[in-house]
């Protein structure tokens, strides 16, 4: 009996680990354009192989067998940088230690100070890049930038991006409700669909959003327009109100969302009971 239980437990753990690995691989694929293309190519090859077997296309099937046999090795050699980026992304994931969840007051103050700074910067047409760390650690970029470690304030954010400030060309990283560093340099996105008129600052915002789950807010130096990059998507030309709403939604804790849903369900049940009693 004990042996059977241990065998079942071993199989459950084995299957769970496989699913966790698949989950993180697919989650990483979603944020990496090149790896998405590779994944699509592999799926197409497999589909053609299945069709060739069903239709008895001997020559095509034989060629695809060689592709499938040597394909993984070729992919590892050709796409070594992309595979390394995925492994680095998984390594930066904060599985055991996460940042402290901000209280509602702290979150409101964070959004208030950021949006005040953004509003001033856009009106003055001062370029800016503010990156808010979430679950994926940005320590690799923090160690290569200028440490600030100060409480969040709109005045400090504005001064960091002032044109005469030597750090104004880089990005600011915010962890929790504190400004961790300034002058951070982020990877440039290779997305060919991005508007060619957008500069390095926007490409850097998109780049860091492709490699992490961070929120990257940019202010255009030429037009003063606000953009927010999330999950490899650049939301360009936002109004100050739209940017604030997006920030509120993205910084809202997942647990709070679940609680809100539960309260909504409870309210619906109570309303139904009241209607029945009436």
pTM above 0.85, yes or no: no
Task: Please give the average per-residue pLDDT across 60-80, as a whole number.
Answer: 75
Task: Please give the average per-residue pLDDT across 188-199, as a whole number.
Answer: 80
List the single range of 139-153, 181-195, 254-268 with lowest mean pLDDT.
Answer: 254-268
What distance in Å separates the CA atoms of residue 76 and residue 82, rounded to the nearest whole number? Answer: 9
What distance in Å separates the CA atoms of residue 143 and residue 70, rounded to the nearest whole number? Answer: 40
pLDDT greater at residue 196 or residue 171:
171
Q: Are 230 and 209 in contact (CB under 8 A)?
A: yes
Structural domains present in the chain: 2-92 (no CATH), 104-253 (3.40.1700.10)
pLDDT bracket for residue 88 (50, 70, 90)? low
Q: Is the pLDDT of residue 77 over 90?
A: no
**Torsion sign, CA atoms 163, 169, 170, 172:** positive
Q: Is the pLDDT of residue 260 over 60?
A: no
Phi, psi (degrees; rounded to nearest 5) at 228: -130, 125
Q: Is the pLDDT of residue 172 over 90?
A: yes
pLDDT bracket for residue 6 (50, 70, 90)? confident
- Closest to 53 in 3D by CA, of 45, 62, 61: 61
Q: Are 98 and 135 in contact (CB under 8 A)?
A: yes
Q: Is the pLDDT of residue 273 over 70?
A: no
% of the chain surpassing 70 pLDDT: 76
Q: Is the pLDDT of residue 140 over 80?
A: yes
Model confidence pLDDT, tens digit, residues 204-234: 999 999 888 899 999 998 889 999 999 888 9
């Amino acid at each position: 009996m004990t042996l059977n239980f241990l065998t079942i437990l071993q199989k459950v753990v084995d299957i769970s680990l496989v699913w966790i690995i698949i989950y993180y691989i697919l989650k990483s694929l979603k944020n990496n354009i090149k790896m998405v293309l590779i994944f699509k190519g592999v799926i197409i090859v497999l589909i053609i192989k299945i069709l060739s077997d069903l239709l008895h296309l001997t020559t095509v099937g034989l060629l695809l067998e060689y592709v499938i046999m040597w394909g993984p090795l070729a992919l590892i050699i050709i796409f070594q940088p992309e595979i390394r980026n995925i492994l680095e992304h998984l390594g930066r994931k904060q599985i055991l230690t996460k940042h402290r969840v901000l209280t509602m007051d702290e979150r409101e103050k964070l959004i208030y100070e950021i949006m005040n700074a953004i509003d001033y910067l856009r009106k003055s047409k001062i370029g800016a890049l503010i990156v808010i760390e979430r679950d994926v650690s940005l320590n690799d970029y923090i160690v290569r930038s200028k440490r600030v470690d100060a409480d969040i304030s709109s005045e400090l954010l504005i001064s960091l991006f002032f044109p005469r400030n030597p750090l104004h060309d880089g990005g600011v990283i915010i962890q929790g409700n504190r400004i961790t560093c300034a002058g951070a340099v982020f990877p440039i996105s290779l997305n060919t669909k991005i508007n060619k008129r957008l500069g390095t600052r926007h490409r850097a915002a998109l780049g860091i959003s492709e490699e992490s789950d961070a929120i990257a807010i940019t202010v255009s130096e030429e037009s003063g327009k606000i953009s927010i990059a999330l999950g490899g998507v650049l939301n360009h030309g936002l109004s100050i109100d739209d940017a604030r709403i997006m920030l509120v939604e993205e910084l809202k804790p997942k647990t709070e969302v679940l609680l809100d849903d539960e309260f909504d369900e409870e309210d619906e049940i109570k309303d139904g009971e009241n209607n029945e009693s009436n």
